[in-house]
Amino acid sequence: MIYEGMKEHLEASDLVVFAYPVYTFLAPSQLHRTIAFLKEKKTKLQGKYMTQITTSKHFYDVTAHRYIEDNAMDMGMKVIRGLSADMADLLTREGQKDAREYWEYVLNCIREDCYENQVQNKNDKKRKTTAYHAMGIHKEHSQTKRVVIVTDYQKGQDNLKNMIVDFRSKLPYETTVVNLRKMNIRGGCLGCFHCAKDGKCIYTDHFDSFLRNRIQTNDAIVYAFAIEDHSMGSLFKMYDDRQFCNGHRTVTMGIPMAYLISGNYEEEQNLRMVVEARAEVGGNYLSGVATDEGSQTEIDHVITALTKKLSYAMEHHYQQPRNFYGVGGMKIFRDLIYVMRGLMKEDHRFYKEHGMYDFPQKQIGTRIGISAVGMLLSIPAAQSKMQGKMTEGMLLPYEKIFAELEKEKEQ
Ligand SMILES: Cc1cc2nc3c(=O)[nH]c(=O)nc-3n(C[C@H](O)[C@H](O)[C@H](O)COP(=O)(O)O)c2cc1C
């Protein structure tokens, strides 16, 4: 019923504006479901203009926008760049001015018939997915580590099932499978912030305790899904959004992750960024992603390699320093929690305990050193003397380390 009303309005419109809050790197699960619905019902949106307005803290607003754009393009829509506002922007004069100017820009795009996907790349060659048959090799499974596989597998997804079967048989540890379809998740996150107080969700489906007791207690977490509308699908997204009850605490930090994905993952640049960024921000080593792209033998090799990489990561507690996705993401969280510490008390405690408030002003030694160099450089005589010495200066601490290593070797 709701859909029929929506379909009528959408099909009668010239411009569709997707307006939503950014949730967990993408759109709220409810919007993922809506998009799936629009596609299932073959809603006639071809040739219509679309744009989007989001509010967020700019934490992966970029992947959210790209997700909506990719789906709009699937439906043949003309994509006009969206507006990504900070949560508080529209309360400020500057933010309101930006919004007005953006709207003028949208109207002009329609008047002039210009849009982002004016020229589409027709030459994209897709690496094919193939039917994958489980090899059924069985190994001894040790119980020294606990591994959970979270999936939304449903009947008909044979490749996904066979990949899970093989992954389980090749991994030298016992695994538990949690199928989200068998769980009673009452609904998507409502953004009510009830959990900000004490970590308890307003829904009474015990999802928060399920997360804490059955997921976060494992030595590794493996996610297994089939790509749906350029994402992990609305049910998986619901699982992701509901993790908001953990606040911004990276509670699974140090636990390695792996993915089994059915579909053309190689083509899904945006989803690949989300998968990597999620692991980066969470402080989880991403052991890898096995997909069903390639031949039976290739897929089998990739799954085998993934079980080996994951085992190594678990055994050695292997981690890597965060890259831009992780460092940048954590700086946004850090600033957010610091400002909102009066409300987000659990988050604040966690950030303090884990030394996550790495504000620059805390690096007192470095700052004093750099100021001294700056002052020296403002004196013309010192400036000419120091010319070309900057690199030498930067190498100095390393030379000290090399000298120490040499000394150790001699002893
Ligand atoms: C479940 C959940 C996930 C969120 N994920 C993100 C995120 O990935 N990036 C971000 O910048 N903000 C995120 N936020 C913050 C929301 O974007 C922000 O609360 C929203 O823009 C406020 O809009 P509203 O007032 O319309 O709810 C998230 C909030 C919730 C409740």
- Outline where 358-389 has alpha helix (H): 364-377, 380-386
Query: Does 60 sit in the ligand 1 pocket, CB within 6 Å?
Result: yes
83 within 8 A of 98, measured Cβ to Cβ: yes
Of all protein residues, the one whose alpha carbon is nearest to atom 12 of ligand 1 is 56
Q: What is each CA distance from 342 to 58, 231, 244, 251, in whole angstroms?
A: 21, 35, 18, 20
Pocket test for ligand 1, best of 56, 68, 237, 333 (most atoms within 8 A of CB): 56
Report the relative pairing of strands 15-21 and 49-56 from DSSP bridges: parallel
Bridge partners of residue 232, in order along the sequence: 228
44 within 8 A of 12, measured Cβ to Cβ: no
Bridge partners of residue 178, in order along the sequence: 150
Query: Does 21 sit in the ligand 1 pocket, CB within 6 Å?
Result: yes
- Superfamily designation of domain 2-112: Flavodoxin domain (3.40.50.360)
3 state SS of 304 = helix
Bridge partners of residue 224, in order along the sequence: 151, 260
Please tell me the number of Cα atoms within 13 Å of 158 on its side-chain side.
Answer: 6
CA of 250 to the centre of ligand 1 (A): 17
Phi, psi of 20 (to 5 degrees): -160, 160
Query: Does 223 sit in the ligand 1 pocket, CB within 6 Å?
Result: no
CA of 22 to the centre of ligand 1 (A): 5
Of all protein residues, the one whose alpha carbon is nearest to atom 14 of ligand 1 is 23
Nearest residue to 56 (alpha-carbon basis) of 324, 274, 333: 333
Of ligand 1's listed atoms, the one at least distance from the Cα of 22 is 17
Instruction: Specify the pLDDT at position 62.
Output: 98
Residue 213 φ/ψ region, left for φ over 0, alpha for ψ in the -120 to 50 degree band, beta for the rest: alpha
Quick one: how far is CA 145 from the chain centroid? 26
Radius of gyration of the chain (CA): 25
Query: Does 58 sit in the ligand 1 pocket, CB within 6 Å?
Result: yes
Q: What is each CA distance from 68 to 114, 226, 411, in whole angstroms?
A: 18, 18, 62
- Fold: same for 2-112 and 142-324: yes
Nearest residue to 23 (alpha-carbon basis) of 278, 345, 347, 323: 278
Of ligand 1's listed atoms, the one at least distance from the Cα of 20 is 26
- pLDDT digits (tens), the chain, 411 positions: 567 789 999 999 999 999 999 999 999 999 999 999 999 999 999 999 999 999 999 999 999 999 999 999 999 999 999 999 999 999 999 999 999 999 999 999 999 999 999 876 555 567 789 999 998 777 789 999 999 999 999 999 999 999 999 999 999 999 999 999 999 999 999 999 888 877 889 999 999 999 999 999 999 999 999 999 999 999 999 999 999 999 999 999 999 999 999 999 999 999 999 999 999 999 999 999 999 999 999 999 999 999 999 999 999 999 999 999 999 999 999 999 999 999 889 999 999 999 999 887 778 888 888 888 888 888 888 888 877 788 888 888 899 999 999 999 998
Q: What is each CA distance from 390 to 109, 154, 267, 283, 398, in whole angstroms?
A: 50, 61, 44, 34, 14
Pocket test for ligand 1, best of 87, 270, 280, 333 (most atoms within 8 A of CB): 87
Cβ atoms within 10 Å of 170's Cβ, excluding its own: 19
Please tell me the number of Cα atoms within 13 Å of 280 on its side-chain side.
Answer: 20
Q: Which fold has domain 142-324?
A: Rossmann fold (3.40.50)
Whether the pTM exceeds 0.75: the reply is: yes
**Spans of all domains in the chain:** 2-112, 142-324, 363-410
CA of 324 to the centre of ligand 1 (A): 21
CA of 32 to the centre of ligand 1 (A): 15
3 state SS of 391 = helix
CA of 66 to the centre of ligand 1 (A): 16
Quick one: how far is CA 333 from the chain centroid? 14
Any idea which residue has 């979270």 for tokens? Answer: 150
Any idea which residue has 């099909």 for tokens? Answer: 11
Cα–Cα distance between 38 and 21 in angstroms, integer?
A: 20
Query: Does 84 sit in the ligand 1 pocket, CB within 6 Å?
Result: no
Of all protein residues, the one whose alpha carbon is nearest to atom 16 of ligand 1 is 56
